[in-house]
Amino acid sequence: MMDSDNKRLFFVSSIEELNDFLSTDASQGRHIYCIFSQRVINPLIQKKLERQNIPSISFMDGHTLYPSQQEEIADVNF
């Protein structure tokens, strides 16, 4: 795990690191860059991303998810 200079972007190198990071208050509202592929993200991690209000999570394969926006969309649909 590594913080960037601007303290808003957080780098993780494994799904385990991501899971650990999302279990902390420090992850609230942080942008995340993953040094692995999006395909390893499972529904449990997706829920944690939404709960922690993660604005974006990008992956080395070029994909980016916007979990906090997904939660807003879900709220509007109910």
Three-class DSSP labels, 1-64: CEECCCCCEEEECCHHHHHHHHCCHHHCCCEEEECCCHHHCCHHHHHHHHHCCCCCEEECCCCE
Give the pTM: 0.79
Tens digit of pLDDT for each residue in 9-60?
999 999 999 999 999 999 999 999 999 999 999 999 999 999 999 999 999 9
Nearest-angstrom CA–CA distance, 17 and 40? 13
Domain boundaries, the chain: 2-77
- Pair of tokens at residue 76: 């509007």
Q: At residue 3, does pLDDT exceed 70? A: no
State the pLDDT at residue 77: 45
